[in-house]
Amino acid sequence: MRHVLFIDDQPGILSGLERMLCPMRSQWRMTFVCHASEAIDVLSAEPVDVIISDMRMPDVDGVALLREVRARWPETVRIILSGYADQGAALRSVPVAHQFLAKPCDPAVLSAKVQDAFDLQDRLSRPELRRLVGGLSALPSAPRSFSAITEALSEPEVSLKNVASIIERDPGCATKLLQLVNSAFFGLPRQVTRVSEAVAYLGASRVRDVVLAAEVADMFHCSTPDLAMIVQEVNEHSALVATEARQRVKPRFAHDAFTAGILHDIGRLALATIAPETYGPIERKRQAGADLVQLENAAFGANHTDVGAYLLRLWGLPLSLIDAVARHHDEETLSPDDHPIVVAVAAAEAAAEAAATSVDGQSGGTDSGTDSGTDGQVDLISEASSG
């Protein structure tokens, strides 16, 4: 039976959680403690699948507790459950918490988040790989600006001014947001020069996804030549898939299809970051014509579609985006009943692979023919949209 550990220094809140989640007792084993030291004792004694902690506690706060959990039990999914007033605390939790939920939390929402965590753990078949992914300092916690915007969106009344101010504190994200808004993808009749104007035009939820795409592009540090090559290739390929996927759906799905295309290969970047010595040779075999998914499964017991879906699910993205990432190599098994975004990304991936194979056959190389500058991803999208 799956084990969920709850920590809150107020016994009344713990009692309320226990009553609220009583229907889940047949499916979960639940432990409720009031102090971080008690939580450490529980974790030291037996495995815990999910830990749900309050932020503000008198002895050790939630961030400090989850930092220790990440170091000692990285396979445990870490969730902060705290009050609406803890916006600053939410930002502090970004490096150590997989998700931040606001009190009061609907029982169905909390149950769904915990069940999602179980599903995520099942998705990666090898515990060793789960521990590797969970222990990374930058992954799988969501990027900072994306998490801050997500927290702002959890407020009863979303302030676009607040969302804009979050982006303005991140010059890289602000620049890429303006570049994208002014590209032919959106077709605006005039130039947008202010972040607040871009946010007002797109709306907070769409801005969140654009910021995520921008931050993901900068998330992975090119610590080795192999990783630098993989990051460049994935960014260029993802831009092509995003553009193609956007063109294959109705306008109301265009933005999500684009976002899913940008993110669809994030699992490749994660695996390359986790194990660069292993993943570099895998990529070279892929370029020589070997099947990437098979190579990854043989090396890790999971593949980049598994890992990508794992990360996006942890970040709380919509199910359609998660499914698109999980199934982007499954074009032949998809049906018209599947979500349009899932179908579009899989078709775009197949088209991009076919085009790359054709180019490789003619040139004898793997160059995609794109500019690899810092903003090449956005420029490529703009040029493809204009065409």
Which secondary-structure segment (H or E) carries 277?
helix 276-287
Which secondary-structure segment (H or E) carries 33?
strand 28-33
Longest dimension (CA), the chain: 70
Cis peptide leading into residue 58 (ω within 30°): no
Predicted pLDDT of residue 107: 87
Domain match, 198 and 112 both: no
Domains held by the chain: number: 2
Q: What is the Cα–Cα distance from 76 to 135, expressed in whole angstroms?
A: 10
Burial 99-113 (b: 16+ CB within 10 A, else e): bbbbeebeeeebbeb
Domain match, 113 and 152 both: no
Domain end (from 73, 91, 123): 123
Can you give the length of the chain in residues?
Answer: 387
- Cβ burial of 333 (10 Å; 0-12, 13-18, 19+) is exposed
Predicted pLDDT of residue 370: 37
Residue with token string 């961030």? 63
C-alpha pair distances (Å), 203 with each of 137, 150, 207, 222, 272: 30, 13, 6, 33, 34
> Residue 34: which domain range?
2-123
Domain match, 90 and 164 both: no
Domain match, 233 and 295 both: yes
Q: What is the Cα–Cα distance from 387 to 384, expressed in whole angstroms?
A: 5
Q: Is 128 inside a domain boundary?
A: no
Domain match, 66 and 193 both: no
Query: For residue 83, which phi and psi values (nearest 5 degrees)?
Result: -80, 160
Domain match, 64 and 158 both: no
Nearest-5° Cα angle at 263, 261 to 264: 65
Q: What is the Cα–Cα distance from 89 to 57, expressed in whole angstroms?
A: 12
Q: Is 262 inside a domain boundary?
A: yes
Domain match, 89 and 152 both: no
The CATH code of the domain that includes 233 is 1.10.3210.10
- Which residues are registered as beta bridge partners of 252? none
Q: Which residues contact 45 (CB under 8 A, 6 or more apart)?
A: none
Q: What is the Cα–Cα distance from 54 to 63, expressed in whole angstroms?
A: 9
Domain match, 375 and 298 both: yes
Residue with token string 């600053």? 88
Predicted pLDDT of residue 128: 60
Q: Which residues contact 106 (CB under 8 A, 6 or more apart)?
A: none
Which pair of structure tokens corresponds to residue 276? 């660069």
Q: Is 221 inside a domain boundary?
A: yes
Per-residue pLDDT of the chain (387 residues; tens, 9 = 90+): 899 999 998 899 999 999 999 989 999 999 999 999 999 999 999 989 999 998 878 778 888 898 898 888 877 888 888 874 444 555 456 557 777 777 788 888 889 888 877 876 676 556 665 665 665 544 444 566 776 776 776 665 667 888 888 888 777 677 777 877 776 556 677 778 888 888 888 877 677 767 776 666 666 655 667 777 888 888 889 889 988 998 999 988 887 888 889 889 988 988 887 788 888 899 899 989 899 999 998 988 888 998 888 777 766 666 678 889 989 999 999 888 889 999 999 999 999 988 877 766 554 444 443 333 333 333 333 332 332
Using N-to-C axis directions, what is the helix angle for 254-263 and 204-217, rounded to 10°?
A: 20
Overall pTM > 0.85: no
Helix spans in 154-224 (H): 160-168, 171-181, 195-202, 204-217
Q: Is 30 inside a domain boundary?
A: yes
Q: Is 295 inside a domain boundary?
A: yes
Nearest-5° Cα angle at 379, 376 to 383: 135
The CATH code of the domain that includes 94 is 3.40.50.2300
Which secondary-structure segment (H or E) carries 29?
strand 28-33
Residue with token string 């979500």? 339
Domain match, 201 and 335 both: yes
